[in-house]
Amino acid sequence: AGDGHGVRPDGPRPGRGVVVGVRPGHVPPGRGDHGGAEGDRWLRKGMAIYRAQLPEQILGDGGHFELSPMYHALVLEELLDVWNLAQAAGQELPEFLHEVQSWQPRLLQMRAWLAAMTPPDGTLAHFNDTTQGQSATTLELDDYAQRLG
């Protein structure tokens, strides 16, 4: 359940945002939350970080550069959260929505990479620091992505 836009009522998972470096809650405060000039600065700063870090951290095959399914799942969920926020703020922040929508091919690649790294039991493969329960599962992320459209 959420606010009608699919925004999670429990907020982001603890520890999120450490891999890409932006917590989704810091990205879109802008005009939609009466943030005025300060909110716009946060939005510009957050999106500049994504612009710089996504090409660096997401490899050509859609995998996260750490090659850890858990880190990959954390980053994918973060990006889906930002997509969700952009959709909710779309009418007030159309440039934000347009930029985030340009991530769609990358998000599809990331989902495919994670699916390829998921064993038949649905858990995350135990590579490069991956532990269970620290991130959403592949099934949860696919469900989230499908709800976002």
Predicted pLDDT of residue 121: 86
pLDDT tens track for 73-130: 999 999 999 889 888 887 778 888 888 889 999 999 999 999 999 989 888 877 887 7
**Under the phi-then-psi rule, with left for phi > 0, alpha for psi from -120 to 50, and beta for the rest, what region is 137?**
beta
Confidence check: pLDDT of 143 > 60: yes
Give me the percent of the chain exceeding a pLDDT of 90: 23
Exposure string of 45-58, with b = 16+ CB inside 10 Å and e = fewer, is ebbeebeeeeeebb
Using one digit for the tens of pLDDT, what is the confidence trace for 33-46? 556 777 778 888 88
